[in-house]
Amino acid sequence: MATNLDGLRRQLLETAASVNSSGLLSMSGHGNLSVRVPGKDEMLFTAGGSLRDLPSHAIVRIRLDGTLLEGELPPIANAVVHMHTAVYQDLDDVACVLHTHSPYATAFAVAGREIECWSEAMAIFGLGAGVPIAAYGPRGSEVAVANIRAQLSAGTRAVLLANHGVLAFHRSPAETVAVNVVLEEAAQSAIYAAGIGGATVIPPEMIQASFARAADFAVRGSARA
């Protein structure tokens, strides 16, 4: 099990670096990231506050009931632990949770506006139903966590946190980062489009067609001569 945990820690550090290089982080660099420990009701969690230059000692191991099992968890990081554990408890297929203040998507969260399916990338990544908003609650409070849980469902891959930021989650770290990137790009495009008449939503039948087409390509794999 120790080897597996070491591999997960490396994966978490690599994913944090990927988030940093993707341009998702706000000026403060604030964000937190976690991965589920396979076969256990546990997660590894970044307790550093920032995802920039995350040191390995800032990764802690936490039971999904919030009990700290290994490492040091500062109060400011401890406040958002249950934001992560709630997703793992409610969605069995989720293996990674990412919280950022990615600027354009957070603008929608601050405005109290959901992100709709304005881009093909959202349809391809299973975000065709748009991204809902969890009503505001003080950071890490029972109210905030309950508001997040109210927006979780089998098809949800991200939630906007009103007046706060973004919570993305998926079956793998790479897919989780991709979801946040797709949302950030869609939000950026919509804000730019506001100056020329506004963004338009892809028709539902075309959302499904794009998703199905992407799934078909994935099954076929790479073309070879």
CA distance 58 to 74: 10
Mean pLDDT of 185-212: 93
Mean pLDDT of 22-49: 95
Residue 25 confidence (pLDDT): 95
Residue 105 confidence (pLDDT): 98
Q: Average pLDDT, whole number, for the chain?
A: 93
Domain boundaries, the chain: 2-220
Mean pLDDT of 102-115: 97
- Which percentage of the chain shows pLDDT scores above 90? 79
Tokens standing for residue 77: 């990081």
What's the CATH fold of domain 2-220? L-fuculose-1-phosphate Aldolase (3.40.225)
DSSP secondary structure letters along 65-133: TS-EEES---HHHHTTHHHHHHHHHH-TT--EEEEE--HHHHHHHHHT--B---SHHHHHTT-TT-B-E
Residue 223 confidence (pLDDT): 62
Tokens standing for residue 142: 């029972």
- pTM for the full model? 0.92
Task: Give yes or no for residue 47 having a pLDDT over 70.
Answer: yes
pLDDT (tens digit per residue) in 122-172? 998 889 999 999 999 998 899 999 999 999 998 899 999 999 999 999 999
